[in-house]
Amino acid sequence: MKQTIAPVRPAHTAREARYDLRGPLAERAADLQTRGHDIIDLHLGDPAAHGLNAPDTVLRAAAEGLHRAAAYSDERGLPAAREAIADHYRQAGLVHATADRVFLGNGVSELASLSLQALLDPGDTLLVPAPGYPLWPACATLTGATAVPYLCREDTAWAPDPAELAARTGSRTRAIVVINPGNPTGAHWPPAVLESIVDLARRHHLMLLSDEIYAELCYPGTTHVPLAALAPDVPCLTFGGLSKFCRLPGYRAGWAVASGPRSATADYLQALTLLAGLRMCPNVPAQHAIPTALSPDVLASTRRATAPGGTLTLCRDALHSALTLHPGVRCARPDGAFYTFPRLPLPPAVDDKAFTRHLLERHHVLATPGAQFDAPGSTHIRLSALAPPETLDIAAQRIHQALGEFAAAEAPSAGEQDG
């Protein structure tokens, strides 16, 4: 008799974890594209996919390194890459950064997972910003811990309220995740807010996990200082990588830089080293690009892109001004990263998911519902401002048209008004 095979049951934690960024909407967009439709893709934050190429010098460094990349590296990564990263952070104000406390990984994504596995036990809690990037809560959930959202408030340009953050800190809280500049909001939090987060961590013996993958992408008027530079006495991991500022997300080259008292971080870093060793080492070819990527010339080319009149500044401004031509659209102008996070005037029966579906099907614009970032109220969408300004302008017009269609469907008909 043929035996029936029972379905394989995924782990409870894997069923609980949420990460929808590559979900059905993106699949539908790909499907429409294969059927010949032109889709304006404002979905993922992938500069390379929008033709924003990495500097040639970085590509050459990676190509030359390929011949020396066949063997495993140290579990933390190549010494030359770790030295370059430590040097970069020393110059940024993290004066005690040293290569022995730098860990390389296959993007910040892998390091988020490793750093939380090394930190959290089931039942622990991790404070995460909301709206925020879903990687962090998903990785926390996979450890059996609970991600506790703290609210970033639209009326304070998406900065959190330190008092609310303090109120969410409990006896099992182990760490605070900060994402600065933020995804999806593009907000850069003011120094006073960062100081109070550091103070909270200090008082409650929490670790700081500062995701600063957009640190090099700050627009005019915004200066970035690593959170760890404000917290030399607090255990901290600062995350960065080549995906965004160097436009090389496919290289999967990210890092975590540990700081804080050595006596307080030694055991944790030993656990992290063990986990880093379990995956043998990070992707070696990409590591050869890191010293060049952090060289003054390459950093200056990124600064040009975010300076007044620079490519990314023009994109940000084009999208923000086109969107806010609609009187009902509310949208803080982003300080950093390359996202815009407008609140839309949607009728009560229409949420962000329904709107983005309609926008894709009818207007061929792919945007991301705010719900995927734990946004309040279901009326936000995230748009990445990486396409040329003319395309962003067209996308904004289509968003306005879609809003008009929903508003017209909602408006009472003439007959109803008379009655």
Q: Does 249 bind ligand PLP (CB under 6 A)?
A: yes
Q: What is the chain's Cα-based Rg?
A: 22
Separation between Cα atoms, residue 209 and residue 223, nearest integer Å: 20
Of 282 and 342, which CB lies nearer to ligand PLP in the complex structure?
Answer: 282
**Region of 178 on the Ramachandran plot (φ > 0 left; ψ -120 to 50 alpha; else beta):** beta
Burial 77-112 (b: 16+ CB within 10 A, else e): bbeebbbbbbebbeebebeebbbebbbbbbbbbbbb
In the complex, which residue's CB is closest to ligand PLP?
107
Q: Which stretch binds ligand PLP (CB under 6 A): 102-110, 312-320, 356-364, 389-397?
A: 102-110
Pairing of strands 125-130, 146-153: parallel
Neighbour-count burial of 228, counting CB atoms closer than 10 A to its CB (0-12 exposed, 13-18 middle, 19+ buried): buried
Q: How far is the CB of 246 from ligand PLP (least distance, A)?
A: 10
User: Taking the complex as a whole, how short is the minimal distance between the CB of residue 361 and ligand PLP, in angstroms?
Assistant: 25
Q: Which is nearer to ligand PLP, 86 or 179 (CB)?
A: 179
Out of 47, 65, 77, 107, the residue judged to bind ligand PLP by CB under 6 A = 107
Would you say 73 or 243 has its CB closer to ligand PLP?
A: 243
Q: Which of 327, 334, 329 is nearest to 386 (CA)?
A: 334
Q: How far is the CB of 217 from ligand PLP (least distance, A)?
A: 11
- Kindly state whether residue 251 participates in binding ligand PLP, applying the rule CB under 6 A: no
Sketch the per residue contact string, 261 through 300, with ligand PLP: x for CB under 6 A, - otherwise: ----------------------------------------
Minimum distance, C-beta of residue 161 to ligand PLP, in the bound complex (Å): 21
Binding-site member from 29, 40, 128, 179 for ligand PLP (CB under 6 A): 179
Q: Nearest 5°: CA angle at 325, between 323 and 330?
A: 60
323 vs 395: CA distance, rounded Å:
9
User: Residue 68 in 3-state DSSP?
Assistant: helix
Give the Cβ contact number of residue 38 at 10 Å: 8
The footprint of ligand PLP on residues 37-96 (CB under 6 A) is 45
In angstroms, what is the minimal distance from the CB of 7 to ligand PLP? 31
**Footprint of ligand PLP (CB under 6 A):** 45, 107-109, 133, 135, 179, 183, 211, 213, 241, 243, 249, 254
